[in-house]
Amino acid sequence: MPMLKAEDVRFDYEYENEAPQTVLRGVNLTVEKGSFVALLGHNGCGKSTLAKHFNAILLPTGGRVLVEDLDTADEANTYPIRRRVGMVLQNPDNQLVSTIVEEDVAFGPENLGLPPEEIRRRVDEALEAVDMTAYRDHSPHRLSGGQKQRIAIAGVLAMHPDCLLLDEPTAMLDPQGRQEVLDTVCRLNREGMTVVLITHYMEEAALADRVVVMDEGVVLADGTPHTIFADVEKMRAWGLDVPQPTALCAALRDRGIDLPADLLTPEECAAALMQLLTDPNHRKA
Amino acid sequence: MMKDITLGQYFPGSSLLHRLDPRMKLVLTLLFIVLVFLPQNWWGLLAVLVFLVLVVALSRLPARLLWRSVKPVLFLVLFTAVLNMLYVHTGTTLVQWGFIHVTTGGLQNAAFIAVRILCLIAGSSLLTYTTTPTALTDGIEQLLSPLKWIKINPHELAMMMTIALRFIPTLMEETDKIMSAQKARGADLESGGLLQRVRALVPILIPLFVSSFRRAYDLAMAMECRCYQGGEGRTRMKQLRTAPRDWLSLAVYAAVAAGLVVLNGLFGSVLK
């Protein structure tokens, strides 16, 4: 069943004294419930703009966006949609509202007008889900970037969404913070959460079960990470990188070494190389 | 250099004062200000002083905290005292030299006012020492809720306060970064006259403003993403509840006020 559906979505940014700038030129995309989609594309390709259409922050100038059959263009649907589709932004500092961690997590459910006991229950549960219960009384500005981003995720989880949109959530984090956030996102996905992850890190995209590449406001490619990253030439032509193990295998293949094209993780790559090195039939001079 | 800033002045604790409802604490602080201005004679002022010492003892705050809040106003206290000393001319003359004319009445007035201001500052600083900024904001929001009738939205005021408090450390850190960046590019922030120094601040303030606006835009979007629609239909996780101790404290304050009025009647006024 589809969670999110974009049907021929077009979007123009209107300016006061200038010609409108077209950002989306007919995007068709369906995100199934429970899936983990990575959205790739270089800066300005329209991926963030598309994400903002999925929780009714932006409304399409053409076509339509459906969230579980709710049309984002209908104003009565705005808040039901935002409750279902939670969004986490790039800069963790700019999305925390309160000076105390647990009160920040409570912000969403408070806006939904839930009774205090229910809010308390959800806050505890959300902090538990991102493994930040120990920091409930802390002030956000004393936390690390990864911790702040997990608080932001908890703040969204407390609204009990069905889908998480993450707009480059790891771009401003150090490697450890990135890993914390990715582990959390992967775990939530395994527990049934639909995840749309916008990222510039190909290793992160390799974790998804589907990769969508955008450029110039349209979807260029759509498939599993293995099929998308296998075409190293094409990815580079689109101005995108491939995961390092895939790049290594591609470079070795160029030298005439027989390796599969769709290796994504260091483990897969190491296994293939190991096999190659121990198998006498494949050994080359 | 700016790493040691604290949010508000909250000093963590679990004393009676810490546990009072923030709304009641706000009311009590206003009452205390009235208490400080009630006494007209030394007996009354002594009573206020004793009461203040008792309240401070109850709050279990270290005395150096109160000293810290009083220190910045010492100059003001001294200035007011000197003015009182020079302009009140009752009682016997002690010094008469040019325009300086000090009398016993003047000295008494000066001392009285000085003690009064010091009590005022120390007493009201107890509020911010024993209340977290969030509790304070919640208290203000609820105390001001009657303002709805004159079309002022206390929720919005409280929200602005919360966000301001939240972003003070963030912007401090950013200011630090910008200053380092500008110094690295040869900006001179530490020499020259006043005008020159003010001018040197421009390359720091402009990037700070630009980035604040960007943050504000991001935050507004993040709040919308989390279904923020203003105060309408919003509930709170932490409900403020008054306990018997709150009403008891109010009763004590009222009793002290009544006592001070009686002392005024018994001993008359020493103030001019």
Give the best residue of B3, B134, B170, B226 to mutate against chain A (max A CB count within 10 A). B226
CB contact under 8 A, B134 and A103: yes
Please enumerate in sequence order all residues whose Cβ is within 8 A of that of A220, keeping only pairs 6 or more positions apart, or say none: A41, A213, A214, A238
State pLDDT tens for residues A109-157: 999 999 999 999 999 999 999 999 999 888 888 899 999 999 999 999 9
Tokens 């589907």, residue located: A210
Q: How high is the pLDDT of residue B208? A: 94
| A108 CB within 8 Å of a chain B CB | yes
Structure tokens at A233: 């030439």
- Which residue in B229, B50, B21, B214 sits closest to B127, CA to CA? B21
Distances A162 to A68, A104, A110, A155, B170 between C-alpha atoms, Å: 10, 20, 18, 14, 32
| B123 CB within 8 Å of a chain A CB | no
Please enumerate in sequence order all residues whose Cβ is within 8 A of that of A221, keeping only pairs 6 or more positions apart, or say none: A211, A212, A213, A228, A234
| B239 CB within 8 Å of a chain A CB | yes
Q: Name the strand (E) or helix (H) holding B24.
A: helix B22-37
Closest-CA distance of chain A to residue B237, Å: 4
Please enumerate in sequence order all residues whose Cβ is within 8 A of that of B135, keeping only pairs 6 or more positions apart, or say none: B22
Nearest residue of A to residue B220 by CA position?
A95
Q: How high is the pLDDT of residue B200? A: 84
Band of pLDDT at residue A13, cut at 50, 70 and 90: confident
- Identify whether B201 is part of a domain: yes
Same-domain status, B180 and B99: no
| A94 CB within 8 Å of a chain B CB | yes
Q: Annotate A15-38 with DSSP letters as a single string.
A: -SSS--EEEEEEEEEEEETT-EEE
| B228 CB within 8 Å of a chain A CB | yes
Same-domain status, B83 and B214: no
| A55 CB within 8 Å of a chain B CB | yes
- Which residue in A38, A64, A74, A9 sits closest to A196, CA to CA? A38
Q: Name the strand (E) or helix (H) holding A63.
A: strand A62-67
Which residues of chain B fall below pLDDT 70?
A: 1-8, 272
Tell me: ipTM over 0.90: no
Same-domain status, B23 and B118: yes
Q: How high is the pLDDT of residue B8? A: 56
Distances A245 to A40, A204, B6 between C-alpha atoms, Å: 18, 13, 47
Q: How high is the pLDDT of residue B1? A: 35
Q: Where are the domains of chain A?
A: 2-224, 243-285
Nearest residue of B to residue A153 by CA position?
B226
Same-domain status, B125 and B208: no
The domain total for chain B is: 2
- The topology under which CATH files domain A2-224 is Rossmann fold (3.40.50)
Helix axes B63-70, B104-130, angle to 10 degrees: 120
Give the best residue of A82, A83, A89, A110 to mutate against chain B (max B CB count within 10 A). A110
Same-domain status, B53 and B109: yes
Q: How high is the pLDDT of residue B53? A: 93
CA–CA distance, B216 with A97 (Å, rounded to integer): 11
Structure tokens at B230: 């203003």
Q: How high is the pLDDT of residue A283? A: 53
Structure tokens at A84: 């279902």
CB contact under 8 A, B225 and A109: no
Show the domain range for B85: 16-144+242-267
All residues of chain B having their beta carbon less than 8 Å from the beta carbon of residue A112 are: 227
- Which residue in B120, B137, B128 sits closest to B17, CA to CA? B128
- Identify whether B75 is part of a domain: yes
Same-domain status, B138 and B24: yes
Q: How high is the pLDDT of residue B48? A: 94
Q: How high is the pLDDT of residue A237? A: 87
- Identify whether B110 is part of a domain: yes
Q: How high is the pLDDT of residue A51? A: 93
HEC letters along B197-229: HHHHHHHHHHHHHHHHHHHHHHHHHHHHHCCCC
